[in-house]
Structure formats: structure tokens, C-alpha cells
Amino acid sequence: MLARNLFILLVVVGAALAIVSLSLQFFHLIPTTPMGEERPPQGQGQGQGKSRKRVIPVPNTEAPEPDPIAEAYGYCNTPNHSEQAWEGHSPADYKLLSIQVMIRHGDRYPLYAIPKTKRPAIDCTLSPKRKPSHPQLNSFIGHMAQGGRGRWEGTLSSLPRLPNHSTCEMGELTQTGVVQHLRNGQLLRLAYKRHKLLPPNWSTKQVWVETTGRSRTLQSGMALLYGFLPDFDWSRLTVHHQWSTLFCGSACDCPARNRYLEEEQRRQYRLRAADTELERTYADMARTLGLPPRQLRAANPIDSLLCHLCHGLSFPCVAAGSALSSGGCLTLAQFAVIRRQQLEDEVDRRRVGLYRRYAVLATHPYLNRTANRMERFAKANAPGRKPRAGGEEAFTLSSAHDVTVAPLLSALGLEDALFPRFAARVVFELWRSPPATQGQHKGQGQGLVKADWLKGERSKGGNWGNMFVRVLYNGEDVTFHTTFCRSHGRNAAQPLCPLGNFLSFVKKDMFNVLNATSYHNACYRRTG
């Protein structure tokens, strides 16, 4: 009997220890994701659901070396039903005045073809029955058929409003790209619904949409707008044409910007040329395909291979049919080497700093328009002001490219943010604090703005003590990682960033990295 009781006791103790062990393993396996990172499940392209308990994300100071394959799946941005967003979150009783959104277009067909291989077999027509799909996809298709009632600037009216080729054309938006932005629009609609940002009868002045002259950016913008404003009234919409991918409008002439870009491109070339593993990989790939390595490089194979990866297609294969070709398939290991080098290039780019200088000059015109819109809205909402007829631009959407979004992140000081994935979004929010706290925050907000800027604003009758901004990247609040608000501190009594900080940054402070005082001065001043 004693032996049996002892045996039972040992079994109970063993079971208890097993439960504790499993619990510890469970807590250890809860993922902690660095700012903006998407970590796909093994063998899939969908990101894991992220913890949303923090309003202000804390960067991971012990981030491991990035996995090129996992990073590539995050870049694909396969639509994920568990995705959430921090847009629209604020302290109680704060009033949201406006949002300005810049997006990268959604998933597209490659811009380059790998010689001697078959192009990826992807259908670029839209079908609600094909995955990935979206509940609004069918109604979106019908709504775009009515687009002739809208106003389209420049050559935009000649572009198709939907991708429409059964065999995709180079650079064409795919169904995945449309669904990505329908989801973006839906996320923003749910985030801002309670704030009543736009009245049901919004006017033409209150919604501003602009896009480059590419069908993929126009279609991406329309998908997000439809997700945000289902069945919107075409007669009230004007779609504006941005001729430059930098969205620089009439301020595109900047000699110094072009010089910094040329220097940055030379840095990239030197880093690639010094990478012996990369050279061997390109030589192996070229031998498989029967091509000179230089021709393979010029074909930018990573662009096409990313498309294969994102759409779950096997990498290209060729048969041995010439003296140059050994035959076979391109491999995931070769793909990983090229992506590894690209990730290392991003680290070196931040270290050298040439790209940051280029980025400041490349994005100032867009940031200046963003700041001016915020300033106008702040003035229009000042105490005692009568609202303008038709209202201000409460919702602004700029549909752009990776070469637009990447320098914007760098200029804002978000150097650690991941390279813009398909359907990436950057959101600028303008907030007003509640009347009961305007007095107590007034001095605090002004104290954080440079004195000379405040003096100028007072002379115009401006007072931004109750106005604040937030910046979000792919749904993460990155405001306190920006150059203009790092010094504000996470533990300040005011949890948002004073508008004056942003205005001062755009008008003057962002040129400090160039030892200049203005955009014109930085663009035309000769150095050295």
C-alpha cells in the first residue's frame, strides 16, 4: 500500500512539473515583433497577429539578424484577416481633424523578365471566386465601371480603372494588390468611423486624391478609397495627377538632390561589387540559364523571383539546351543570397548617410504640402473661427511607389523602418486637445517649439498649443521615433507630439543634416 501511494504521489508531482514546464514554454514562445516587422508563419506568406497593448511601440534593442526569406514574405504582405491598426487611437476627448495618407501600390506583376524562362502564370483579371478575395471586391468592380462620372486630371482618364488582362502585363496590379488596398481602406474606415472625419455629404474640397500616371497606383488608390468610402459619389471626386514619383509638384528642380542620388548609387554599386558570395551566386544562376552574368544582373532577377515567392509559384527552370546552359532551376538559396545583400545594403545606407541627405530633398515638397494642410486646418479650427464654405481637406490620399515611400521614411528619421512592402501606408493625423485641457497644455506645447518659429507664428495670430500630430507606418504608431518628436519623450504629460514640432521640422530643422536653412538653399548651394 505504501509503495502504491508513493507511486501515485510521484505521478502527481511529475504531472505538476510538466504543466509548469509547458506554461513556461508557452510564455517563452509569445512573439515579440520589432516596430513594423511582419513575421510570416513557417511556409506561408501571412504575418502573425501582433500584440496591440502599447500605444507607443518600444523598439527591440536586441533584434536578431533578419532572415531574408521571412523578410521577403513580410514584403509580399499577403492579405491577413488578423491584421489590426493603431490609426484613430488617442487620449479621451481628443478631436481628430484630418488625416493624410501616402501608400505604396499593391502587389504587381514584375517589371523585368528573366531571359530564357517562362513568365509567371498569373491572371490579372478580377474574380471574387479567386483567392485572395474580399467581401467588397464584386461591388468595387461594379463601382469602377461608373468611373467616367469622376474628374480625372491629365492623362489619368486614359488609364484602366481595373487590372484587366488574363495574362498579366509588366507592372500590372494583381488581384492580390487590389485586395490589399481594399483591406487598407476597410481598416482605416473602421479606425476612423467613430471620429466622423467626413460628413455623409462631404464636399469635393474635403477629399483630395492624387496618383502618379501608372495604372497600378491609380487602381491601388481607387481600391483604398472604395474600402474607406464604399459607393462614394463619383460626381464629387477629382483624381489629381502627380507627374513625378517624388510628388514634388512645381518644386522638382533640385540639383543637389540629383547629386546625392548619384553618389548613393555609386555606394550601392561598390558594396555589391565587393560581395564575393553575391558574385558567385549570379555566376551560378547565369550558368543555369545559359546567360552572361552581366545580362542576368541587368534583368534584375530578384523582381521576378519575388513574384514567384509571393504567389506560391515554383522558381523558373530551363532545360540544358546550349553550350552555355547547364539546365536546372533557380533556387531559394540563391534568392536568399540576393535578399541578404539587399538587407545589408540598407544597413550600410544608414551608416553612410548619403541616402538620408537625398531623402530630405526628395520628400520636402510633399512634407511641405502636408504641413501646410495641417496649418490651414489648425487655423480653421481655432477658437472663434468660422468654418470655410465647403470645408478643408480632411482626407488626403497619395498613391505612390517604393521610391516615394522609402525616402519619406528616411527623411522623417525612421531609418530602422523596414523597406516599404506592397501596399505599405504612412498616415499623418492632426488632433486637437479637448477644451478643458487647452490651457494646461498651451504652454507645454509651445515650449517644445523653437523660439524663432513661435515668434513668426504669433505674428500671424497662430497658436498651436492645443494641436498635435501622430505618424503611423503600417498601423504602428512611430511618432516618437521621428526626428521631430524623439526629444518630446515617451513619459511627457502630453502623450501626443505638438504640431509646432512638425511645422518647425518641415520649414527649417530637417535641413540641419545638410547644413542648410531652407529647401532652396540646400538645393542650390555648392559645397566643398
Asked if residue 183 is part of any domain, the answer here is yes
Query: What are the residues facing 239 on neighbouring strands?
Result: 152, 209
* Rounded CA separation 290/310 (Å): 26
Q: What is the pLDDT of residues 194-211, one digit of tens each?
A: 999 999 999 999 999 999
The least confident of 21-25, 422-426, 487-491 is 21-25
Active-site residue flag, 105 = yes
pLDDT at position 238 over 80: yes
Active-site residue flag, 181 = no
Domain end position, chosen among 330, 350, 370: 350
Predicted confidence at residue 463, as pLDDT, reads 64
For the chain, the first-to-last Cα distance in angstroms comes to 94
* Rounded CA separation 122/444 (Å): 56
Catalytic residue among 123, 303, 345, 402: 402
Asked if residue 523 is part of any domain, the answer here is no
Predicted confidence at residue 116, as pLDDT, reads 92
Cell numbers that stand for 133 in this block: 478575395
| 169 torsion bin: left (phi>0), alpha (psi -120 to 50), beta (else) | beta
Least Cα distance to 172 among 138, 126, 208, 131 occurs for 126
Q: Are strands 425-432 and 467-473 parallel, antiparallel or unpaired?
A: antiparallel
pLDDT, average across residues 305-325: 87
pLDDT at position 29 over 60: no
Task: Verify that 104 and 187 share a domain, yes or no.
Answer: yes
- CA dihedral for 206, 135, 110, 338, sign (positive or negative): positive
Task: Verify that 87 and 229 share a domain, yes or no.
Answer: yes
Where do the DSSP E strands lie in 254-336? Answer: 317-318, 328-329
Asked if residue 300 is part of any domain, the answer here is yes
pLDDT at position 321 over 80: no
* Rounded CA separation 134/79 (Å): 9
The least confident of 3-17, 168-182, 253-267, 397-411 is 3-17
Predicted confidence at residue 382, as pLDDT, reads 79
The pLDDT-based confidence of 381 (bands split at 50, 70, 90) is confident
- 8 A C-beta contact, residue 299 and residue 127: no
Q: Quickly list DSSP for 150-185.
A: SEE-TTGGGS-SS---SSPPTTPBPHHHHHHHHHHH
State percent of the chain over pLDDT 90.
71
Task: Verify that 102 and 181 share a domain, yes or no.
Answer: yes
Q: Are strands 207-211 and 238-241 parallel, antiparallel or unpaired?
A: parallel
Q: Classify residue 183 by burial, with Cβ atoms within 10 Å: 0-12, 13-18, 19+.
A: buried
Task: Verify that 143 and 218 share a domain, yes or no.
Answer: yes
Predicted confidence at residue 518, as pLDDT, reads 96
* Rounded CA separation 354/58 (Å): 27
Task: Verify that 368 and 333 share a domain, yes or no.
Answer: no
- Total domains in the chain come to 2
Asked if residue 295 is part of any domain, the answer here is yes
pLDDT, average across residues 37-61: 38
Report which of residues 6 and 474 the model is more confident about. 474
Predicted confidence at residue 434, as pLDDT, reads 87
The pLDDT-based confidence of 436 (bands split at 50, 70, 90) is low
Task: Verify that 183 and 243 share a domain, yes or no.
Answer: yes
pTM for this prediction: 0.84
* Rounded CA separation 84/282 (Å): 39
Least Cα distance to 68 among 483, 345, 389 occurs for 345
Asked if residue 402 is part of any domain, the answer here is yes
| Segment (H or E) for 506 | helix 499-507
DSSP SS3 for 217: helix
Cell numbers that stand for 260 in this block: 546625392
Task: Verify that 140 and 228 share a domain, yes or no.
Answer: yes
* Rounded CA separation 219/383 (Å): 40
The pLDDT-based confidence of 323 (bands split at 50, 70, 90) is low
Task: Verify that 343 and 367 share a domain, yes or no.
Answer: no
Task: Verify that 198 and 240 share a domain, yes or no.
Answer: yes
Task: Verify that 369 and 241 share a domain, yes or no.
Answer: yes
Predicted confidence at residue 80, as pLDDT, reads 80
Predicted confidence at residue 435, as pLDDT, reads 78
Predicted confidence at residue 456, as pLDDT, reads 35
The least confident of 77-81, 250-254, 367-371 is 77-81
Task: Verify that 74 and 198 share a domain, yes or no.
Answer: yes
For residue 282, give its domain range. 256-350
The least confident of 51-60, 184-193, 339-348 is 51-60
Q: What is the pLDDT of residues 130-172, one digit of tens each?
A: 999 999 999 999 999 999 999 999 999 999 999 999 999 999 9
Asked if residue 30 is part of any domain, the answer here is no
Place of cell 471566386: 129
pLDDT at position 98 over 50: yes
pLDDT at position 15 over 70: no
pLDDT, average across residues 171-191: 97
* Rounded CA separation 83/374 (Å): 29
Predicted confidence at residue 40, as pLDDT, reads 34
The pLDDT-based confidence of 61 (bands split at 50, 70, 90) is very low
pLDDT, average across residues 240-268: 97
Asked if residue 32 is part of any domain, the answer here is no
**115 DSSP assignment:** T
Predicted confidence at residue 63, as pLDDT, reads 56
Q: Which range, 54-63, 311-320, 458-467, is most confident?
A: 311-320
* Rounded CA separation 497/430 (Å): 10
The pLDDT-based confidence of 57 (bands split at 50, 70, 90) is very low
Report which of residues 473 and 461 the model is more confident about. 473
Predicted confidence at residue 452, as pLDDT, reads 36
* Rounded CA separation 87/99 (Å): 10
The least confident of 378-382, 413-417, 442-446 is 442-446
Question: What is the distance of C-alpha 446 from the center of its chain?
Answer: 31
pLDDT at position 380 over 60: yes
Q: What is the CATH number of the domain that holds 214?
A: 3.40.50.1240
Q: What is the pLDDT of residues 69-94, one digit of tens each?
A: 999 999 999 998 777 789 999 888 99
Task: Verify that 318 and 385 share a domain, yes or no.
Answer: no
Place of cell 497606383: 217
Mean of the per-residue pLDDT values of the chain: 84
Catalytic residue among 105, 134, 181, 441: 105
The pLDDT-based confidence of 109 (bands split at 50, 70, 90) is very high
Cell numbers that stand for 106 in this block: 499593391
Predicted confidence at residue 498, as pLDDT, reads 94
Asked if residue 520 is part of any domain, the answer here is no
Domain end position, chosen among 432, 454, 473: 432
Domain end position, chosen among 432, 447, 475: 432
